[in-house]
Amino acid sequence: MPPLPKSRRSRTRPIPLKSEEPRKRKPRLSADEIPVLPDDILRIIFKHLSSVDRCPLAIVSKRIRSLDLEIGNRSIDAVDVVLGEQIDRINAFVDVKTDREISFKSTPNVEFTRCYDHIQLFFKNASVADLDIWAERRSDERSAKSLTSVFQSLLVDDVRIYMSDKSDFSEFLHWILTSNNLVPKKISLSFKSPERQNFTRLRNTLRNIQQLEAFNVDYLVTMRGKDKDECREFPRRTPYKSPLEKAICDGSTMVHLARNCDAVSLGLVDCTGQHLLEAFQVICESPLISKELKVHTIESVVEELFTLAANTNGLRIFGLPDRGITDFEQSRRTTLDVDVDKKGGVYWSVYIYKLDSIKQNEPGQST
């Protein structure tokens, strides 16, 4: 039902009976009597508000606006950054449920901070659950710098960077990993045709990773379509021209990541059997109760791994490498599975894992 016009609404209000006791109410303060709250008190009040409730503060008055920006500390559900050929965009989803979204737009050659005087303040000490960056254009050093200055003091749980064949984001990644404020729990890198990447720089950057819950590398066929399985390159039916040319990680980077991250998935890795055995031992020796590493490699590396394993004391080998699946164990809790992709892939997947096996420890069992 549409709302009644004001005049009619007031007429429909019930008239109080004369005998009714008048409501006990203090005389209303006139506007002049409302005390002007000092800045520090207003800051305290605004800190109680959700990011959605703080949106209107931007246009109440200049003073309120600057106080709101000064507080920072917004909580933002997700931030999407698109660095496109024509336009750069930062979308902050303040509240996904109510679709409350704040966006900042700029052109590729102009830094965000030059377009928006308040953008740094908007993201000051903000906490963000997901930060997704889509880098679609060539030469992203400037954009990486621009974003670095925007997100100076962001607190992020999960960072995902999608890179096209034209973009190089090792600079930004380096900043993410070395920034004191931005300490993500998870990092995912998705590449489309990664041959354009400067792998040496990227590997150096990855070797700076200190502690992460999860680190993930994906090879994508298309940039947009992160939720669809079919857009991933693996399992691949045909090998690359030179089989390991698109391997983002090398063996020592892989071992470093296995040591420093709880769950690692790296796609194609340019490593030796010795590296894989080393990664396996790192996981065996880790005090964590669950830890895993997933990589893809080529057959000759798998063969080398099994030759080495056969000559290493304390390892048990199951099956044969050319039959598909082979397990071997060092401790009771760590396993390495090797599998040639059953879906017709030409690369081999190596999965090293240690799972929480408290239930398996029966009482009385010697350790």
The site for other proteins (CB under 8 A) is made up of 25-26, 28-29, 31, 33-37, 41, 44-50, 53, 55-65, 73-75, 100-104, 116, 122, 125-127, 155
Beta partners for 353? 292, 335
Indicate the residue among 20 and 362 with the shorter CB distance to other proteins: 20
Phi-psi region of 64 (alpha: psi -120 to 50; beta: other; left: phi over 0): alpha
Indicate the residue among 93 and 328 with the shorter CB distance to other proteins: 93
Rounded Cα–Cα distance for residues 122 and 69 (Å): 6
Rounded Cα–Cα distance for residues 339 and 16 (Å): 83
Kindly calculate the radius of gyration of the chain based on its CA atoms and give it in whole angstroms.
28
Number of other residues whose CB lies within 10 A of the CB of residue 184? 23
Indicate the residue among 35 and 363 with the shorter CB distance to other proteins: 35
Least Å distance between CB 71 and other proteins? 10
Least Å distance between CB 158 and other proteins? 15
Q: How far is CA 252 from CA 75, 174, 259, in A?
A: 38, 18, 11
Indicate the residue among 41 and 87 with the shorter CB distance to other proteins: 41
Least Å distance between CB 19 and other proteins? 23
Rounded Cα–Cα distance for residues 197 and 160 (Å): 17
Indicate the residue among 80 and 101 with the shorter CB distance to other proteins: 101
Least Å distance between CB 80 and other proteins? 13
Indicate the residue among 104 and 199 with the shorter CB distance to other proteins: 104
Q: At how many degrees (to 10) do helices 141-150 and 170-178 cross?
A: 30
Instruction: Give the amino acid at 122.
Output: F
